[in-house]
Chain A
Amino acid sequence: MARNILSMEDITKVYPNGFVANKNVNLSVNEGEIHALIGENGAGKSTLMKILFGVEKADEGKILLNGEEIQIDNPNVAIGHGIGMVHQHFMLVPSLTVAENVVVGMEPKTNGFFSMEKTIKITKEASELYNFKVDPRSKIKDLTVGMKQKVEILKALVRGAKILILDEPTAVLTPQETTELFKELKGLKEKGYTIIFISHKLNEIIELCDRITIMRDGKIVGVEKVGKITEQDISRMMVGRDIILEVIKEKAKPKQPVLNIQNIIKYSTPEKKILNDVSFIVRSGEILGIAGVEGNGQKELSEIITGMDESYDGEISINDTNIKKLSIRDIRELGVSHISEDRMTYGIVGDGTIAENMISDRYYKKKYQKGFLLNFEKIKKESKELIEMFNVKCDGHKQPINMLSGGNMQKVVAAREFTSGSTLVIANQPTRGIDVGASSFIRNKLIELRDQGDAILLISADLNEVLEVSDSLIVMNNGEIAAYFEDAKLVNEDELGEYMLGLKRMTDEEIRRVADVK
């Protein structure tokens, strides 16, 4: 019978900025199972696992291992109890070898000195035992993502982990690598290991896992056996209601081309092209969506279009102006707005006030000056209007933005980018990690802008979003356009998946249609 190996009881965690990440959370894991922990971005999964692994401290609650309460103050203690974690961002040192990375913290010694020989032997034996094919002497920086992940798992196993936590392990993997990973994980399960698998990909969970715990808003909303629950049930629990992303919009009436991209090539390393001959056109009054697994060139593309990256080959024109030699401000002055996929790095200045965040693209314009100085009356008035218009829940325009929730921060970003008098909007993951209400608000705003004649490029990893909001759709895979659908409404989801994962590709002629001036 299933025996409980680990439970977390009544865990509450409040971050220093006041954000409540976990609220009275209970998690119970059985020995030898693959247990899925699922929830939207920001539901509290990662925090819960960080507490389990001793990276964060819970403000309240306790952890029981084999029925006994344990204190996990730091990762060392967790490792000592046989808990290992593979983080979403790899915890590896690029300039060191695989073997050095595997043993750091438990270095083998000869006469008190660090023994490279033993280090390599340990690594070799472990990788053979678990059938991981990694070369102990390679440097981490020369490995593929899939290999790096194996090193991470190896690190945990060598340290005697019996319970493995994997934080969204497939997010960075190719389909082949994912298949391989699942094979390895099932092998570990057979050997008696317990695995906690964090994900928000339902199909993977159903394929791999035994039981599933669903989190929402920092709380547990359900614990179920896989197979006894449908995908619809799970998604309903995750987001609190059925996903009906029925976006209401009229049919697009595209006019003249605004963004014209021809033959863009960009190298990420001297050998690897991250963008390979990408061409397309976005016209006034339409939303062109880009679907694709993250890391297939979408980020680079949006950075090139907005002027943040100038090293590329090919031609880009916006409103018939070639942007090659233009600065970011010049490009913005051409009428380009940009929602970056990395909100905390590019989208906002966390220490700034809401007003300071709202005016960063326009503060220098004449109407914001009063004599030599900035016109603070005007800035205050406009900020207040924008707060109202974009329904930002806050304390006033002078509140520091990092006091707001993610959704409200993104509304501030949207308030700035959607009111700049744009003709072209580059929206990269505009609703990532924010609540349902804010998401639908931002989607509707995009459609509103389209109806006012803006050209909109919507890049999203959220299939629902990219299918419902876009008028036409391209799919990116491996730095290339893999498919073009003139009408996003007619796209079959299964088919889309095959294009995204590189299983299928349209002919060049079919794809080329997106770059033709009609």
Chain B
Amino acid sequence: MLSRMTNKNNVEKQFEILRTLVAIAIALSIAFIIILLISDNPINALASFVIGPLTTTRRLGNIVEALIPLLFTGTAVSLIFSANQTNLAVEGAFFIGGVGASFMATQLNLPPGIHLVVALIVAGIIGALACGIPAILYIKFDARPVVSSLMVNYVCLYLGLAVINHVIRDPAAGFLASFKFNKTAVLPKIIKGTNVHFGIFLGIIIVILGYLYLYKYKKGYEIRMVGKNVDFAKYSGINVNSVLMSAQLLGGFIAGMGGAVEVLGMYNRFQYQKLTGHGFDGILVGIIAKNNPKLVPLTALFLAYIRVGADVMSRVSDIPIELVSIIQAIIIMFVVAERFLYKLKHKKIVSLSRNEINEKEEIVNG
């Protein structure tokens, strides 16, 4: 009988994995169908989408470059969503973190290394503030974080742009951008022929720390319990408000730092004029990773890969890169759809239970 229980556990787990894989398969199939329908040369387009990213060092590098910010935002989202807070301000935190880092990188003169660290920390703090606002509004005023965090994203955008366009704008740049970053604050490139930079190590460290924090540290246990059943957490003596606050501050810190790593690693001046979407990508990464940082690298890699694939495809064919948004959306929707493949699962569980009953009866009768 005990083994039956294990089977039921396994059925749950298996279906979670199956659902994710099927979601990805459906999304990719739809993408392929779109390509077949629209492209004049579908074979070429498909090939460049699927194999394109592997063909040159530069493109392989592109995958890693796209991966780095997702490691940050994916981990940030894992922390925040584990506390069951739908705080979407990761997007704004990433942006304003990049702005903060740019300010430090253009205005300060510090020794190499120290300058970078200061810029990263300042970016993290600003990011934490961004994610902290919806948290405070929820804790103090009961305002739903979904709406308030969306507003915060726009506040981050416009305040950030105000700094870029009026405080550290380089009139000589020829376009709306900040001054060039001081060399002392820039993340060094590590692979020749690519833009892969030192941020990859920082990203990996953040993922590992995020995992340890969330799954091996007492504060992470608190976050997960609050996220799973807030009444239980309160009853057990956990200070719910402080846990909610710290999860979101920490998530914001990581996202803000991610923004800093991105601008200081990839560019020589700040040149965004709108939100970058890295935060929302992080939500996709977090959801597929089931809010477990351990799985963030894998899902981030997947997303980075299709991004680069679509980019390659858009260069060599007539399919625009926005195809990725469609793929991304379809995956999220199927992964979060509880009832998708539900009938299959229910049948399996019913049959397991039936066996169990029969076994019990046999024991009773025999």
Contact = CB atoms under 8 A, between A and B. Distances in A.
A373 B212 contact: yes
A328 B216 contact: no
Interface string B1-35: 01001101100100000000000000000000000
A349 B225 contact: yes
A340 B2 CA distance: 28
Interface residues of A, number: 42
Contacts of A17: 8, 349
A348 B232 contact: yes
B350 interface: yes
Interface string A384-395: 000000000111
Interface in A391-408: 393-395, 399-400, 403
Given A346-B235, A351-B229, A399-B9, A364 B353 contact: no
B225 A373 contact: no
Contact of B236 (A59, A360, A372, A394): A360
A87 B353 CA distance: 28
B236 A361 contact: yes
B355 to A, nearest CB: 11
A376 B220 CA distance: 14
A109 interface: no
A378 to B, nearest CB: 13
B237 interface: yes
A329 B237 CA distance: 4
B121 interface: no
Contacts, number: 97
Which 6 pairs show the lowest CB-CB distances between chains A and B?
A: A329-B237, A360-B236, A349-B229, A346-B235, A373-B216, A328-B237
A171 interface: no
Contacts of B231: 345-346
B216 A356 contact: no
Interface of B: 2, 5-6, 8-9, 12, 212, 216-218, 221, 224-225, 228-229, 231-239, 346, 349-350, 352-354, 356-357
B232 A347 contact: yes
A88 interface: no
A363 B236 CA distance: 10
Interface of chain B, helix or strand or loop or mixed?
Answer: helix
A35 interface: no
A121 B225 CA distance: 52
A515 B231 CA distance: 32
Contact of B218 (A328, A329, A338, A369): A369
A332 interface: yes
The interface centre, meaning the residue of A17, A359, A374, A399 with most chain B CB atoms within 10 A of its CB, is A374
A308 B238 CA distance: 11
B235 A328 contact: yes
A350 B352 CA distance: 21
A327 B217 CA distance: 22
A376 B217 CA distance: 10
A360 B238 contact: yes
B5 A394 contact: yes
B232 A18 contact: no
A327 B237 contact: yes
B340 to A, nearest CB: 14
A351 B228 contact: yes
Contacts of B356: 18
Contacts of A18: 8, 349, 352-353, 356
The interface centre, meaning the residue of B9, B224, B350, B357 with most chain A CB atoms within 10 A of its CB, is B350
B218 A360 contact: no
A307 B8 CA distance: 38
A118 interface: no
Given A348-B232, A394-B5, A374 B221 contact: yes
A14 B356 CA distance: 12
Given A395-B6, A399-B9, A350 B217 contact: no
8 contacts: A18-B356, A308-B235, A327-B237, A329-B237, A347-B235, A348-B232, A349-B225, A373-B217
A340 B221 contact: no
A59 B357 CA distance: 14
B67 to A, nearest CB: 27
Contacts of A403: 5, 8-9
